[in-house]
Amino acid sequence: MLTTLLAVLALSTASDDAAQTQASVQPAGPILQLGAGDDAAAATENSTIDEPAQPAPGTVLNTASEYAAFHEVIADLAEAPIGSGEDLDDAMDRLTAFYGEDRLARAWLAYAAMIASQHPEYLDDVQEVADYYGAQAAASGLMYDPAYATSFTHAREAQGSVIEAIVTDTSQIRSVSDRYRSAAYELQTERWANTRARDRQDRLSSLVNADAREINVSTSVFASIESSIDRRSGASSMFASATPTIVAAPSGPELNLTVGQTAQAPDRARLGRILSVAALQSLSDDPVVSEAAIDALLSDPAVERCLAWVRLDLQQCVAAGYFKYEDSFCIAEHALLDVSRCLGASSADAAH
């Protein structure tokens, strides 16, 4: 009996020593801290680690859909008739509906972030930092220093896709601007466009209240946005439209414009803000904090100021005009060309 008791005590002591030894051994690498509810996600990690992170329905996707809707309007205006005052009024109203407050600026940043999120190597870089320092620390770094997002190893590839998409979209806007600029000259021979307009007050009132108009995001936009993002292309590629035929316009003192052609270096802080939104969207440890951070980063004061100037310049242009053909010039110059500059990749583009 005594022999048996001693054997049991020896086994128990050995078992306790082994457990203590195992608990004292730490992994050699960083420890991944899983938050509540992350165990199930970790179980499927191996099957999804190589897939690009898809933005969850919410702030980013819903906001980006408005930018896609804006380019749906741009595509329509590439072929829309310009044969009456009503056609010009409709074009002006459809465009300016997006220029109220910070609506277009936020939508543009969200769409660009979705482009950046299609680079899994970049998101893996972000995840490594989150694994080592914790998701909260990584999120704080991205929030308070957006340019930090451009310092990751694979950030260059994500930036490249964003810049390419921005160039594609702004080129499409400039193309439609050229169409309305040419029409401004051609319409001078039309009696209806060369008769003194009597709608100036109504036009100005419509522009002042542009942000009150509701933007309808069609189901076709939601159906197209995913394939466009998969191609990492600009929103303008979502809509098939014929390239407008540009007729060379004669020079005229009241419509002359000289546009500088010097390429500007991309704004690192602006691209960093876009990449930060994509990075935060991929971190799911604390969704509440991530949503708050994303909402704060979907803001670019320079672009917002630029678009505010667009609205003011457009109103002044319309107020100074006497004829409807001049409205076509105002659309080309302010509602389209100036907007393309606001949405450029460099800080110089958004300067007024």
**What domain range includes position 193?**
53-243+278-342
35 burial (CB, 10 Å; 0-12 / 13-18 / 19+) is middle
Q: Is the pLDDT of residue 14 over 70?
A: no
Question: Does 47 reside within a domain?
Answer: no
**3-class secondary-structure state, position 323:** strand
Phi/psi for 323 (5° steps) reads -125, 155
**3-class secondary-structure state, position 347:** coil
Question: Does 96 reside within a domain?
Answer: yes
Question: Does 190 reside within a domain?
Answer: yes
Question: Does 97 reside within a domain?
Answer: yes
Q: Is the pLDDT of residue 155 over 80?
A: yes
What is the per-residue pLDDT across 27-74, written as a single tens digit (0 to 9) for each?
332 332 323 334 333 333 443 434 444 434 467 888 898 999 999 999
Q: Is the pLDDT of residue 143 over 80?
A: yes
Q: How confident is the model at residue 11 (pLDDT cuts 50, 70, 90)?
A: very low
- Max Cα distance, the chain (Å): 119
**3-class secondary-structure state, position 196:** strand
Q: What is the pTM of this model?
A: 0.73
Average pLDDT, the chain: 76
pLDDT at 117: 92
Question: Does 253 reside within a domain?
Answer: no
Domain count, the chain: 1
Q: How far is the C-alpha of 177 from the C-alpha of 309, rounded, in Å?
A: 18
Q: Is the pLDDT of residue 203 over 90?
A: no
